[in-house]
Amino acid sequence: MEVDEMSMIAIRDLSFAYGGGLDAIFTHVDLQLDTDWRLGLIGRNGRGKTTLLRLLMGELPHEGSIHANVGFTYFPFAVADPQRDTLCVLRESIAPFDAMEREMEQCLAALGEETTERYFELLERYQFHDGYQIDGRIEAELSQMGMSTELLGRPFSTLSNGEQTRALLCALFLRRDRFVLLDEPTNHLDERGRELTAQYLGRKKGFIVVSHDRSFLDQVVDHILSIDKCGITLEQGNYSSWRENERRREQQAHMQLERARAERERLELAARRAADWAGKTEQGKFAARNAGLRPDRGFVGHRAAKLMKRAKSIESRREEAAAQKAELIRQLESAEPIVLKPLPPEREKLVTAADLTIRYAQRSLFEKLRFSIGRGDRVALTGPNGCGKSSVIKLVMGEPVPHEGTLWRQPGLIVSYVPQDTSFLRGSLRDFTTAQPVNEAVFRSILRKLGFSRAQFDEPMESYSAGQRKKVLLAASLASQAHLYIWDEPLNYIDIVSREQIEQLLLQYRPSMLFVEHDRAFVDNVATEIIRLGRQEGEDR
């Protein structure tokens, strides 16, 4: 295939397995990507999304080839000195301007032939990276991202996680001749931050973004790279168009599967009949001889052999149909249903808040908040980071949070809680379930339906990815019987397939819920009521 050296990333016959293991992550992958595309990379947790980005970065040995006429830049990346002013941090994230400036000054002071030549080399490199205009370009990028340029004069460490993320994204897109690899950039962004970042990336080109936020992908990408059990597929369009096409493919595969099953049954019957005919024909030779007849044994034997050959042919076709059926089953990534059995509450109302106000350091997070959670209500708390969502959750959990107003909880309320943090998970799954009020069989069944392989059940939880650890907490919650399910940002690092499974579950069983989540599609699809806290404009604080 002809490859345009100036604009393509060519992946040829790529194969990779960690530690040279038999369980390959990628096998004989061929892809050709345009460096102007905005690609969304999706797939189950553990399918190899981050691995593919690391392969593009040249960090992992592999078979096959990856050729590109641009360099790759990976996000997230560490900041060497977060105590420096934000402008300095962003400048150094683009190119080593400070070092180049110091060396150019030294070259000018030395006044020699070699130093003069070195000075012009540095000057050419400095100008290539827009060194003389870089401060203004940084300010312009921040403005495009909806951020105040006042942040540039503050120490980078004083910015919120969301502000740091968005600022560093701006720096990435100021690098020259780079193709940007974004590995879940929305993890520290609230709803407003995601919207601003989506608008910003929608005006850019030349990147791959790993994200499980469907609304975000719909706003940002023009192509989808999907990793499943069968490999990697490339399709033009956003996530919604890919998902609709995927539904059609699943329906077609199910129809083919039913036809393959019917064909297998028909072939099995035909094979048995042909084998019976062949046996009876062969027996006929001896029966005729015993009766004193002289049949044409050559003709009869030929007929028997022909019938046996036909039986074997039918058997071969049966095996082919069985293989086709197995392949169709392997290709179908549709999720099995998950069973949830919430406890019925004793009263219609589980929680009621009246004139609730929370202040910290003389600053009100919110005032006069009123809400209630009844049987089957799924209440979403939304708002920028720092607006008091976690404080509301703590109050409903029964923790002592200084507040004004009243918050009433149904007596004997049983809560199933999924926290943001997963770092406390240690040891084996068996030890974890022993310490939890969950049914281990149901817990393991849910994990399998959320994409866990059987081998992962024997691995220590310290080795799990962030998404796998979060699935452990979600599975434990789903396997628990409770009156009220409280989930604090449950979908961080969770793949799209699992998100859609969980949505279907909640819509089917209608548990009473209070949850915080920045995935707009999830909130829109699941919540029966949305409580918006704090200001809706401004930065991620």
pLDDT in tens, 478-493: 888 899 999 999 998 8
pLDDT at residue 335, as a whole number:
45
pLDDT at residue 327, as a whole number:
54
Q: What tokens appear for 155 in the block?
A: 């120490």
pLDDT at residue 444, as a whole number:
87
pLDDT in tens, 14-67: 999 887 666 788 999 999 999 999 999 999 887 889 999 999 999 999 999 999
pLDDT in tens, 177-215: 899 999 999 987 888 899 999 999 999 999 999 999 999
- Please state whether beta strands 349-360 and 207-210 pair in parallel, antiparallel, or not at all (unpaired): unpaired
Among 337, 443, 467, which residue's Cα sits nearest to residue 43? 467
Asked if the domains 1-95+131-229 and 349-532 are classified in one and the same CATH topology, the answer is yes
pLDDT at residue 1, as a whole number:
35
What is the topology classification, in CATH, of domain 1-95+131-229? Rossmann fold (3.40.50)
Question: At residue 279, does pLDDT exceed 80?
Answer: no
Radius of gyration of the chain (CA): 31
Q: What tokens appear for 177 in the block?
A: 């001749």
CA atoms of 214 and 216, how far apart (whole Å): 5
**How does DSSP classify residue 335?**
P
pLDDT at residue 537, as a whole number:
41
Question: At residue 217, does pLDDT exceed 90?
Answer: yes
pLDDT at residue 324, as a whole number:
56
Question: At residue 257, does pLDDT exceed 60?
Answer: yes
Q: Which helix (H) or strand (E) holds 64?
A: strand 63-68
Per domain, the residue ranges of the chain are 1-95+131-229, 245-331, 349-532
pLDDT in tens, 95-150: 999 999 999 999 988 878 889 999 999 999 999 999 999 999 999 999 999 999 99
Share of the chain above pLDDT 90, in %: 55
CA atoms of 533 and 379, how far apart (whole Å): 13
pLDDT at residue 540, as a whole number:
47
pLDDT in tens, 296-352: 555 555 656 665 666 666 666 665 655 555 555 555 444 455 567 788 888 889 999
pLDDT-derived band at 156 (thresholds 50, 70, 90) equals: very high
Phi, psi at residue 245, to the nearest 5°? -65, -35
Q: How far is CA 240 from CA 64, 217, 324, in A?
A: 32, 9, 29
CA atoms of 285 and 295, how far apart (whole Å): 7
Give the CATH H-level superfamily of domain 349-532: P-loop containing nucleotide triphosphate hydrolases (3.40.50.300)
| Residue range 266-277: mean pLDDT, rounded | 70
Q: Taking a C-beta distance cutoff of 8 angstroms, is the pair 32, 65 a contact?
A: no
Q: 197 burial class (0-12, 13-18, 19+ CB within 10 angstroms)?
A: buried
CA pseudo-torsion sign 157, 163, 166, 170: negative
pLDDT-derived band at 361 (thresholds 50, 70, 90) equals: confident
Judge if pTM exceeds 0.85. Answer: no
